[in-house]
Amino acid sequence: MELEVRHLRALCAIADNGSVRKAARQLGMTQPSLTTQLRRIENAIGGELFSREPTGTTLTPLGRSVLSRARPIVAEMNALIAEARTAAGRAADARLRIGSTGSRAVPGWLRRLRLRFPAADPTIRTDASPNTLLQMVAAHQLDVVFVHEVEGSPLRVPEGVEERVLVAREPQFVALPETHPAARRPVVALADLAADQWMVDPAVDGEAAGVRRMLAAAGFEPRVVYGDYLTAVDLVAAGEVVTPCQPTSRSRPGMTVRPLEGDPLTVRLLLAARPGAAAPLGIDEVYEDLAAAYREIAWASPAYREWLVRNDTPPPLLQARGRVPVA
């Protein structure tokens, strides 16, 4: 048997406690297990290290010699582990774990964070469900998340998670086939889509309910099917469905993005985090970089830019503490 650091720790514990029974309790072992381990250690060394007496154990001359060499090794190993854990903690603190329900602003957000603080090493986790991401923040699996809340379907924000409003009311547009008669109009009325089949992603919290409320309020029976939005894009281009989309969405071959008349479907954009979770940057810096990225992508999106100009509503300013921009 080769001696390991754990064996040396066991010898130190027995010597310090003067008893195999007490040392076993300290080490979280049973007395028979530690007795067996001591016997193997002594066999490996070739002599007794402790004298067994009715009142406990005492070191033999060989034991004193071995312990004089074992203690510095154990102390050095303890120091090594403590320093490594401290370094690992600093490395973990430097990382910034980001979550998002998906937005074209995310790449610009990450780029700004890396430029502001290269050591932050931001990582991104995407999920269609904002409630899932919020739970991950509460469980310390993510530090900060960018999520949306469909109007009329409040999110379940866990206790201890703080919210900051990025956009109080973002209109949702519609993606429709470029051959659709309504695609020729700059703004589409829901009545023009009464005969169409809508596709929504059931994993997006509140969206299916929001679309059904919107269509019912327009006075026609909702025709809603379910699927992920990657599939929806292909079906829209094929002329099979229409689907709600973010105003920053890009038109693609066979698909056109248009605003809906009266903005009947809106969401609230939020930044959510645990207090102090955005270290080493700070939540203000994280919020400012997200706002700047969102503003950049908003003005770069033709349909959204036209909507913003028409409604005299600029994208969110770089405001600290999540104050809502005035529409």
**3-state class (DSSP) for residue 126:** strand
What span, in angstroms and rounded, lies between the C-alpha atoms of 56 and 79?
Answer: 30
What span, in angstroms and rounded, lies between the C-alpha atoms of 165 and 68?
Answer: 63
pLDDT of residue 317: 40
**Could you read off the pLDDT tens digit of each residue along the chain, which spans 327 residues?**
788 888 999 999 999 999 998 898 888 889 899 999 999 999 999 999 999 887 788 899 999 999 899 999 988 888 888 777 656 555 555 578 999 998 999 999 999 998 888 877 888 999 999 999 999 999 989 999 999 999 999 999 998 899 999 999 999 999 999 999 999 999 999 999 999 999 999 889 999 999 999 999 999 887 899 988 888 999 999 999 999 999 999 989 999 999 999 999 999 999 999 887 765 567 888 999 999 999 999 999 999 998 988 887 655 543 333 333 322
Residues forming a β-bridge with 243 = 175
Q: Helix-strand-coil percent breakdown of the chain, rounded to 5?
A: 45, 20, 35
Q: At 298, list the tokens.
A: 């908003």
